[in-house]
Amino acid sequence: MSRANSEASASEETDSFGGYPRPRFEETTRRCSSSPRKFKMNSTPPVVSKPKLHNSLVEMCVLVGVDEDTGLKIKDFSQDPAMDPFESLDEVGPVDTQVLAVITPQSAYYPQSKDIQIDPRYPVTTSGSITPTKSPKKLRRTSSRHHILRMISSNGQAIPQSINHEMVNSLPPLCFPDEAYVISQSKHRIQETIHTLVLTSMTGVRTYATCLSFHVPYSIQQSKSREPGFYDLKQGTDIYEKNVTTRWVPKCICLITQAPYFGVMKKILSSLLPDLQQSEQLLLKSLKNMLYYVAMVPMPPPGNLSVEFSINDVSIVVAPPDDTDKPVVDIALHIPFLSFSVMDTLRIVTFILMQQPIIFIASNYALLTHVMECFMVFILPFKWPFTYVPIVSTMLLDLLEAPGVFLMGCHSEHSKSVKEIKGMVVVDIDQGSIEACQSVKIPTIPKQAVSVFMENFSSVRRYMVDLLMVGRPDPTSLESANCFTDKMHRKFQLEIQNHFLEFMANLFRDIQDFISPEIQCVKKEDFVMSRPEDERYFYKKIMEQQMFKTFLDDRLDKKQDYYTRLERRTRPQSSTNIGLFSDFPRYHPSTCVQSAMAMRRKSSASTDNIKQQFTPHTHLTLPSFDLSLDEASVTGSKQLTAQVFFDKCVTELTEVLSNVRNTSIKASYLYLRGMFRIANSHFITGLEDLCNLNTVDLSIMPINFMAKVIADLPQSDVEVVKRNPFYRSKEFLSKVEQKNCMRQQRLHYKEFDMDNLPDKLDLEDFIKRIQIMEIAMDKDVIERLFKALTVGNDELLSDTFSSFVDSWKDNGTETDAIYPHLQAHLKEGEEYPIKVSGWISSGDGSGRLVLTQKRLVFLGDGNQKFHDVINLTDIKRMEKIEHFTSLKSLYVAALRIHSNKEGEKPYTVNLKSERNSWQLLITEMWNGRIVSHAQKDDQVITEAALNVMLLDAVIRSSESQNASHARHVESAAGHLSQFTHSTTKKKKSPNALKHRINPSFSEPMKSTVEAMIYIPGTSSDGSTSDDSDSCKLWCGMASGKVKIFDGRTWMQEAEFCDAKDRVCCLMSVGTGSVWAGSFDTNIYIIDVDTYTANKKICDHSDFVSDMTVTANKTVAYTCSLDGEIMIWNTITLEKVQDSIKLPECRSLTSIKWKDGKLWCCTKEAIRVIDPSTGDELKRAVYMDEKKFPVQFDCFLTYEDKLWVGCTGSNNGKLLIFNEETLEVIDTLRVSCRGISKLVAVENRIWAGSKQGKIHLFNTKTCRREEKVLEAHEDAIRSMCMAANQYILTGSGSKDGKVAMWKADFDNT
């Protein structure tokens, strides 16, 4: 989940500086001279509300170092007390540093202060009054190694949470990783430096720190009241007094953030440079002013909106993340390439993916975090879950010898010691070198992916600003120069990210062919074996890593993230379509598919495919500050208070929102306004803003934060919330984006050890094992197989199961071995060998008979001679004979195959003991071809081929004496000879039928086709065209999926899986989106390019039953079964008016908009509604002969008539009303259980029945035509028109198919 969707400020710990409850301090006693103060809690603190921005840019500011209160203590002081080291040394230390100040938006705390630990004038309230606060725990001295180790976790996750004292205590040694030293005045003053930190808490939460280190002049005098090595410090005008030494002492300002905004923090800290040499009080004042302001700056949500603010006359832009699932990238990604070659960079990426312990070394601490964070971006979508410490301070160097997996960084002065550690990979940033221990085996990076990366990456440099400026005139202003530089820098960054992401896609694209999300299975071993031999070790090692397991979990869960979108965008056309035999078991890991995989990688090399469209950022400029905090408290000014600032931001955002049209920008504005309102305790309006994100960009909705706000609402607001429409938010939040809360149990093929099978397998266990091994997926097929093997028993013996699996594998080995000899003669992708005989003789000589999906072929002369025996469709009959052989003077079992072609001689083949089984197999495949032709369903061929292979394995396994079906082979074969024994399926379909599609193909169970729409493509001139490559058929399934098919090839192209219940209605709105209404009460707004739904309508409280849209596509009407109709602006997704509630509505099943009126179908009537008022204008009802109302199931208006499909007491009825008066014109009886769907085309009404038939009626005569089309084996549940020439019908789950009919077929 994205940063925007992260958990709300978490545990309400008493040591939390940034969350609730806010701290209140009580008076504490003065500490003794050498011991720091400790936190002390008040048992009954008063609660004071202060604004807290959830997505604040900065959580806190921490000042570390020494001052007058702490004094100066030299660590491990061992010199003669009479000697003063400051008189003889230019650099003295190391010295003990302390936390001097902790400043948050709610408090300023000085833990080492002798006077006041809590600033009573910070922060100011609206009236400028002082606000009491609670007392936190005392910060302890942090030189202890224990506290730092507590911050190093083994599971880093970028989830923002409140920051507690453990993190603060760990800062001093990390702010000065090489220890802190006092500098002599005789030496040139040390330049200020900035370095960055990544801190991981005990719970795995990562926070980010940017540190500015500097030195400040103090007068130093040995303390008379403290232990040796302790010195008193004093700052002021008297530092040059006699007997007083002036030296420069270390300090560090540390900004803590939730997200890695290292560049932004660097600019903020740089703006403080003029204030660093001020007195202690003035420096603290500057820090408070800075922190109070920047803490009110929000982090923008993912998108295209940047937040801009100014501080100390420095303009700073906070850019958003590029995607909800990607981290913020605020570092220069090209820095690693200044040290390492492209190949060495890829080697480091490989070591990280292999989870090798790696130590980065550099002479500049700032480079360590920067370079290591770059590599965290380069490995996306993988995330490093192990120990991650970019800077290891000198006192913690022994951590580098710890066992385990980690990424750490240290100073290059320790390089010699580091390189002696066994099992390490040492990356030297200064030298640009990589040294791996001899025990580390370096895998070979797949060459094809590397070559593609190298080719693409060579073009990145064209976005480098220095190169671009060579031939351009210099900008005439600083503003234009910064604008151009920022634009090119962002393009440069995006190019680098995209090329590394494409590199990952090319490495792991083909894993998708070995994943089955439906049964949560990954065929890892088959994937590795499908790779070229020199790449197998690489993939084998990758597969073993924890990072890859997380990656696989996301793919199994069909996560629609930036990786998925890029992988789909760069996928070649040949692999986006799911072909006829793409799910054919056994062949995808074999050599016949490897050529397609190589082509896929080659196709993805096109840089045109990976160009992410660059969208300039829109800037939101925040109000500026003119006064300091002290001035505000004195004058009573309201300008600087957080409450006033947030209100001002809300006002400006409200004004901007009224004019914005871009949905992405609107979403960001709504997000920020909601956060500002909640920060100011305007919970109701803030929650409404965040709730409205579901209509513009659901992906940035901070769901967990909203849930916490709702749970923590004050009791006084409960009644107000109940009266607000948003009160359903708890129900709403529970169903919005609650994806994959519980990981399904992952089962892998290797877990099924055939040597440790249970003695008996029941049907459920048998189905699971057959699916995991990908022998078959359809549960109906597997149940028939179970019956064939058990012969009437409820359980299957393990010996029988093992024999069957061995037989299945043997057939696979034989067909794989023979395929290379057939490949030149078979059409790739359409024909494979499914059965190979033993060595036999025929009229073509000795060799092997091979059965494919299309024909019988003979391979002779050592597999060198190919002879086409007969096409299966040309077989007239087969007969079993005893063929006499003169050589041995005996009869041999043979099979004689007769052709229906005139003059063609019968083909005789001596199959011996294989004759009977071959006759069964050929007969099943032969009949499968007949059924496929009759039903015009190509997928039947694949079903028949699978039956043949299952039948062959059953017959082979029956030869085992322990097989339970050994004595019942004919009965077992009968269960699997599905098409051999079929009679109805062999009937020739009417000439109207064009084609059939099975949307549930390759899934475990058939699913009802609940809804369909056909969307024509867009031609080059922008007009719609049915000849375009972009025409699509969308099918809403009872499984909750939406299947998308190519409108020309009718192959599945993609699927949408977010709905939690059946998708019962689909509607095309414009050219950019499809609305999908579901029984989970949501309406999903699916983008037609990405097939993702970042927008959702969740306002219905009952099943969504239908949708309709006005002629100009600007207003949509959606209804639910309870009779509620909602009206929406299709562009803004805002309600146009109040909902319409139909009175006494039993079940509202469908609605249609026509000529400004809304036609509504309920079970008892057709109601015509005025959509502007909700008033009922007229109603159509009908009573049967017994005066009982008939059930209305569907309707349509056509040529001034209203046609209504009904379910009567004994049969179906088609009622015809006058559209204007709603008087009954005619009643047509139909011999079926009822009419479920109606479509009108030309002069015909196509009426789909609940028995799967299509009844045709003439619109002119209002009479039924003679033709009744046998369409499906189950009820027709959906109908639509395609390309103005086809009628598409979708059926119930017993059939589960889509039939395509010619609309203008000849009815004679």
- Greatest mean pLDDT among 140-144, 629-633, 1207-1211, 1242-1246 lies in 1242-1246
pLDDT surpassing 70 at residue 734 = no
Q: What is the pLDDT of residue 1159?
A: 96
Range with lowest mean pLDDT among 13-27, 375-389, 1092-1106, 1208-1222: 13-27
Which strand ranges, in their side-by-side order, compose the sheet holding 406-411? 387-389, 406-411, 358-362, 425-428, 433-436
* Percent of the chain predicted with pLDDT > 70: 80
CA–CA dist 646, 105 (Å, integer): 13
pLDDT tens-digit readout, 957-975:
988 877 888 888 888 888 8
Both tokens of residue 268? Answer: 């903020």
Which phi and psi angles does 1013 have, rounded to 5°?
-140, 145
- Return d(Cα 1276, Cα 1283) in angstroms, integer: 21
Mean pLDDT of 60-67: 92
The predicted structure's pLDDT at residue 666: 92
pLDDT digits (tens, 9 = 90+) for 666-707: 999 999 999 999 999 898 889 889 888 888 888 898 888 887
- Cβ atoms of residues 121 and 629 within 8 Å: yes
The pLDDT of 1120-1140, averaged and rounded, is 91
Measured distance CA(1144)–CA(1162) in Å, rounded:
10
CA 452 to chain CA mean position, Å: 25
Q: Is the predicted pLDDT of residue 1281 greater than 50, yes or no?
A: yes
Contacts of 987 (CB under 8 A, 6+ apart): 934, 1270
728 pLDDT tier (thresholds 50, 70, 90)? low
Tell me, what's the pLDDT at 988?
A: 64
Q: What is the pLDDT of residue 507?
A: 92
Residue with tokens 């409850």: 21
CB 1273 within 8 A of CB 1295: yes
User: What is the maximum alpha-carbon separation in the chain?
Assistant: 131
Q: What is the mean pLDDT of the chain?
A: 80
**Would you say 842 and 858 are in contact if contact means Cβ atoms under 8 Å apart?**
yes
Taking the model in full, what pTM does it have?
0.79
Give the tokens for residue 233: 């410090």
- 245 compared with 979, residue with greater pLDDT: 979
Q: Which has more confidence, 891 or 256? A: 256
**Nearest-angstrom CA–CA distance, 309 and 319:** 12
374 near 335, Cβ under 8 Å? Answer: yes
pLDDT in tens, 577-620: 333 334 444 443 333 333 333 333 343 434 444 344 567 788 89
pLDDT at 1161 over 90: yes
Around 1126, how many Cα atoms within 13 Å sit in the side-chain half-sphere? 24
pLDDT attached to residue 112? 85
Mean per-residue pLDDT, 358-378? 95
More confidently predicted of 809 and 584: 809
What pLDDT does residue 559 have?
82
Evaluate if residue 241 carries a pLDDT over 70: no
With 50 as the cut, is the pLDDT of residue 158 above it? no
Residue 1073 near residue 1116 (C-beta atoms within 8 A): no
**Other Cβ atoms closer than 10 A to 494:** 18
Would you state the pLDDT for residue 124? 64
Q: Encoding tokens for residue 1015?
A: 């969307």
**Percent of the chain with pLDDT strictly greater than 90:** 35
For the residues 56-68, what does the mean pLDDT come to? Answer: 92
**pLDDT of 1237 above 90:** yes
Element (H, E) at 610: helix 607-610
Gap between the Cα atoms of 1306 and 1308, Å rounded: 6
Range with the poorest average pLDDT among 425-439, 728-742, 936-950: 728-742
pLDDT of residue 658: 87
Bridge partners of 620, per DSSP, are 307
DSSP one-letter code for 339: H
Encode pLDDT of 398-452 as tens digits.
Answer: 888 888 899 999 999 998 888 888 889 999 999 999 998 878 887 888 988 999 8
Q: SS3 of 572, please?
A: coil
* Predicted confidence (pLDDT) at residue 86 exceeds the cutoff of 90: no
Q: How far is CA 337 from each of CA 69, 348, 457, 611, 1000, rounded to the nearest angstrom?
A: 46, 12, 11, 21, 49
Q: Are strands 875-885 and 890-899 parallel, antiparallel or unpaired?
A: antiparallel
> How many whole angstroms separate alpha carbon 392 and alpha carbon 199?
11
**CA 203 distance to own-chain centroid:** 24
The count of other CB atoms within 10 Å of the CB of residue 779 is 16
pLDDT of residue 84: 65
CA 1214 vs. chain centroid, Å, equals 47
